[in-house]
Amino acid sequence: MSEVLVFGLCAAVVAGLGLYGAIVDPRPLRKILGFNLLGSGVFLFFGVVARRGAAAGFPGDPVPQALVITGIVVAFSATALAVTLLLRFFETTGSSSLRDGAAADGARDTAES
């Protein structure tokens, strides 16, 4: 079961990468991407745990696997909502910056141009 170790460590690194991207990048869309990477690392880790539970002729424990499927769908709906919020924010303020006061600057730029 070498794949448990290989993909388990892979999941840990992906989760760390996603966390880094979500915090460091100031662009909201990149934060959403980072958050999705973080989530997918956690799902993958859960899948590795499911794989360790292989028994009774199943290649993995079906319960965590089914929960991951539900998780992926819920993550997608949350992403869709986040992206729509972001686009509406951009439309209203003229900037996607989350910095304090950036919204006012963006609105002024839009008004001037």
Partner 1 sequence: MTIVPALDLFVAGVVLVVAVWTVAVRNTSSAVVGFVAYGLLLALVWVRLGAPDVALTEAAIGSGLTGALLIGAAARLRAGESTVAAERPGVPVRLLIAALATVVAAAIAGVLLSLPDPAPTLAPEATANAGATGLGNPITNVLMAFRAMDTMLEKVVLLLAVLGIWSLSPDAAWGGRPHLPHRAEPDAALEFLARVLTPVGVVLGIAVLWVSADHPGGAFQGATILAAMWLLVLMAGLGEVPDIGRRRLRLALVVGPAVFLTIGLGGLVVSGAFLSYPQGFAKPLILAIEFAMILTVATTLGLLVAGPPVAGPPAAGSAAAGSPARRAAP
The footprint of partner 1 on residues 21-80 (CB under 8 A) is 21, 23-27, 29-30, 32-34, 36-37, 40-41, 44-45, 47-63, 65-70, 72-80
Size of the site for partner 1 (CB under 8 A): 83
Which region holds residue 57: left if phi is over 0, alpha if psi is between -120 and 50, else beta? left
Q: Shortest Cβ distance from residue 71 to partner 1 (Å)?
A: 9
**DSSP reduced 3-state for 94:** coil
- Cβ atoms of 82 and 96 within 8 Å: the answer is no
- Cβ atoms of 29 and 83 within 8 Å: the answer is yes
Nearer to partner 1 by Cβ, of 76 and 104: the residue is 76
Site string for partner 1, 80-109 (x = CB under 8 A): xx-xxxxxx-xx--xxxx-x------x---
